[in-house]
């Protein structure tokens, strides 16, 4: 089964070690796994919520795009794009806004934090709160649900937003699905050991705290920044406590288990903080030097980055545009052409609209899809050695014989003569799976004149 993975980074600053360890690195590694269909984006609409400096946003977009590629992302094998290049995203945001409960958004951490701060300062609860900040979770839900991501790698502070995307998607499915789930309900992916890295002062590494270690600064700048990491007053020779040292936490996030164990022992044996910082610098510089050089090359050629991102947007819109049409249809934003015919005639044509589409795979084998009346994929065949064999199966399926459909978890497979020849997609629950099986039977049933 193909697993769709999606994540993005807000373009409001220079990428730092926390961005890399908490989101970029695990996302790039995940994109290399077999069966991964990866969508990675620059969240530049989100940036407008917290930044009103156009030059900063533009520079950050460039830096973050270069960071992903310098970090090893293969843009030809994934879908890599800017959020603002996908016009379907804001339209879906509005569709989702119309089904999102205000009570749900009231519970969003960012909004609650702003309200609490205002109350603490004796101000109006909503002072300085924009609709962008308040409805941020809906825009994030649109990012995720637009591409029906199965897994969303995020930092721990973003778990709530993925859970809210599930709630909003489930609500839309309930209201407009009519037995069909438009949206996959996403799952959070957290790399436990490095989900949230500490900054120079021990708090979460964040641009808003001004405590970050830039990812691709020069070696000298990185060394100077590491030297400012706050440590306790224990002198060289005194045992240090690795479990309460954010310097050790940073080292652990970029080292092997053996390196980490050795560093822990050295701290317990009294390694001085100055030497410990030097070891952290050497570890990071050794890992990032090659990527740093690649990053500088990319930054120097912004036109090349633009071409890559526009190609990614075109790829993303091949998914987004037809899917949004289905959603518009579901909520009633339909073409008048669909109601110029009598109901019986419309039903008859829809029933006959299921069709087989044959294609040749990258490895030279042949496959086919069965698409329903609405263009939704009902079946995807296994690989066949030649087109004739694939055609023979599609011909047999169109004869109207009783189908041997077997439920398998939250999916199903279709069998002919004791052999599995095709399978359906994965569904959020058994109800949606069973509804899809009935739709398949209806699509392949003999048509009555």
Write the CATH number for 375: 2.30.29.80
Give yes or no for a contact between 108 and 160, defined as CB atoms under 8 angstroms apart: yes
pLDDT in tens, 223-242: 999 999 999 999 999 999 99
What pLDDT does residue 374 have? 67
- Same-domain status, 148 and 180: yes
Other Cβ atoms less than 10 A from the Cβ of 332: the count is 7
For residue 145, tell me if it sits in a domain.
yes
At 195 the three-state DSSP class reads coil
Nearest to 298 by CA among 287, 286, 309: 309
Instruction: State yes or no: 18 annotated in a binding site.
Output: yes
CA–CA gap between residue 197 and residue 161 (Å, rounded)? 20
Q: Find out whether 315 is annotated in a ligand binding site.
A: no
CA distance 39 to 86: 13
Res. 387 pLDDT band, cuts 50 70 90 = confident
Query: Has residue 205 got a pLDDT over 70?
Result: yes
Classify burial at 434, counting beta carbons within 10 Å of its beta carbon; exposed 0-12, middle 13-18, buried 19 or more.
Answer: middle
What was the pLDDT predicted at 391?
84
Summarize the confidence of residues 262-287 as an average pLDDT: 96
Would you say 347 is a known binding-site residue? no
Residue 203 lies inside a defined structural domain of this protein: no
Domain presence at residue 211: no
Specify whether 122 is located in the same domain as 172.
yes
The response to whether 100 counts as a known ligand-binding position is no
Domain containing 245 equals 216-293
> Do the annotations mark residue 103 as ligand-binding?
no
Measured between its terminal Cα atoms, the distance across the chain in Å is 38
DSSP string spanning 228-249? T----SPPTTS---GGG-HHHH
Mean pLDDT across the stretch 105-116?
95
Q: Do 97 and 168 sit in the same domain of this protein?
A: yes
Indicate whether 175 and 68 sit together in one domain.
Answer: yes
| Domain assignment of residue 375, yes or no | yes
Specify which residues 80 forms β-bridges with: 40
252 within a domain of the structure (yes/no): yes
Dihedral over alpha carbons 193, 199, 202, 203 (to 10 degrees): -90
Residues 180 and 252 in one domain: no
Residues 427 and 360 occupy one common structural domain: yes
- Write the DSSP symbol of residue 341: S
The reply to whether 19 sits in an annotated binding site is yes
Task: Determine whether the annotation assigns residue 146 to a binding site.
Answer: no
Count up the domains in the chain and report the number.
Answer: 3
Place of tokens 């993975």: 5
Is 232 a member of any domain? Answer: yes
For residues 61 and 145, state if they share a domain. Answer: yes
Using CA atoms, how far residue 315 sits from 26, 96, 389, in Å, is 23, 23, 31
Residue 254 CA to chain centroid, in angstroms?
A: 23
Residues 280, 238: Cα–Cα separation, whole Å:
19
- Please check whether residue 391 is in contact with residue 357, taking contact to mean a CB–CB distance below 8 angstroms: no
CATH number of residue 231's parent domain: 1.10.240.10
Structure tokens belonging to residue 221: 């700048």
Cβ neighbours, 10 Å, residue 293: 11
- Is 288 annotated in a binding site? The answer is no
Q: Are residues 310 and 287 in the same domain?
A: no
The verdict on whether residue 207 carries a ligand-binding annotation is yes
The residues, ordered by sequence, that sit 6+ positions from 229 with a Cβ below 8 Å of its Cβ are 200, 246, 247, 250, 277, 280
Ligand-binding annotation for 208, yes or no, is yes
Task: Determine if residue 3 is labeled as part of a ligand binding site.
Answer: no
Q: Is 157 annotated as a binding-site member?
A: yes
Q: Rounded to an integer, what distance in angstroms lies between the CA atom of residue 138 and that of residue 99?
A: 10
- pLDDT over 90 (residue 446): no
pLDDT interval class at 416 (50, 70, 90): confident
- Whether residue 15 sits in one domain with residue 155: yes
> Is 116 labelled a binding residue?
no
Please say which residue of 241, 274, 293 terminates a domain: 293
Q: Where are the beta strands (DSSP E) in 65-213?
A: 79-82, 151-153, 187-189
| 3-state SS class at 410 | coil
Does 22 show up as a binding residue in the annotation? no
Q: Is 118 annotated as a binding residue?
A: no
**Span 140-153, average pLDDT:** 95
Whether residue 271 sits in one domain with residue 254: yes
- Which pLDDT value is given to residue 48? 96
Whether 207 maps to a domain, the answer reads no
Which DSSP state fits 16? Answer: B
User: How buried is 234 (Cβ within 10 angstroms: 0-12 exposed, 13-18 middle, 19+ buried)?
Assistant: middle
Residue 336 lies in a domain: no
Same domain, 287 and 305: no
Q: pLDDT tens digits, residue range 20-73?
A: 887 788 888 888 889 999 999 999 999 999 899 999 999 999 999 999 999 999
Judgement on whether residues 316 and 288 belong to the same structural domain of the protein: no
**Which helix (H) or strand (E) element contains residue 96?**
helix 88-97
CATH number, position 176:
3.40.50.620
């Amino acid at each position: 089964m193909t697993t769709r993975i999606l994540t993005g980074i807000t373009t409001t600053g220079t990428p730092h070690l926390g961005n890399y360890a908490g989101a970029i690195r695990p996302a790039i590694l995940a994109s290399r796994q077999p069966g991964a269909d990866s969508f990675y984006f620059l969240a530049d609409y989100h940036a407008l919520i917290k930044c009103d400096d156009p030059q900063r946003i533009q520079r950050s977009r460039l830096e973050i795009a270069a960071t992903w590629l310098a970090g090893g992302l293969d843009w030809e094998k994934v879908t890599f794009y800017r959020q603002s290049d996908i016009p379907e995203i804001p339209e879906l945001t509005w569709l989702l806004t119309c089904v999102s409960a205000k009570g749900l958004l009231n519970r969003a951490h960012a909004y609650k934090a702003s309200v609490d701060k205002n109350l603490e300062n004796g101000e109006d609860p909503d002072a300085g709160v924009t609709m962008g900040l308040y409805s941020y979770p809906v825009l994030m839900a649109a990012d995720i649900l637009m591409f029906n991501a199965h897994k969303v790698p995020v930092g721990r502070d973003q778990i709530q937003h993925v859970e809210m995307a599930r709630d909003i998607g489930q609500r839309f499915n309930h209201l407009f699905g009519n037995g069909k789930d438009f949206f996959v309900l996403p799952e959070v992916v957290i790399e436990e050991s490095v989900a949230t890295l500490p900054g120079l002062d021990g708090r979460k590494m964040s641009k808003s705290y001004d405590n970050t270690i830039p990812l691709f600064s020069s070696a000298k700048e990185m060394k100077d920044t590491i030297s400012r990491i706050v440590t306790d007053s224990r002198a060289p020779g005194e045992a240090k406590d690795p479990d309460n040292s954010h310097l050790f936490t940073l080292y652990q996030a970029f080292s092997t288990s053996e390196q980490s164990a050795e560093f822990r022992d050295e701290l317990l044996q009294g390694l001085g903080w100055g030497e410990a910082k030097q070891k952290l610098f050497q570890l990071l510089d050794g890992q990032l030097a090659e990527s740093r050089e690649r990053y500088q090359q990319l930054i120097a050629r912004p036109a090349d980055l633009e071409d890559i991102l526009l190609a990614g947007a075109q790829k993303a819109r091949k998914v987004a545009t037809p899917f949004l049409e289905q959603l518009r249809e579901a909520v009633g934003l339909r073409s008048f052409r669909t109601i110029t015919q009598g109901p019986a005639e419309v039903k008859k044509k829809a029933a006959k609209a299921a069709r087989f589409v044959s294609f040749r795979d990258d490895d030279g084998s042949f496959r086919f899809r069965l698409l329903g009346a609405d263009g939704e994929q009902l079946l995807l065949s296994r690989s066949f050695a030649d087109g004739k064999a694939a055609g023979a199966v599609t011909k047999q399926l169109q004869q109207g014989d009783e189908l041997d459909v077997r439920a398998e978890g939250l999916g199903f497979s279709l069998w002919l003569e004791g052999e599995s020849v095709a399978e359906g997609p994965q569904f959020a629950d058994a109800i949606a799976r069973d509804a899809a099986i009935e739709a398949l039977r209806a699509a392949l049933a003999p048509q009555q004149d």
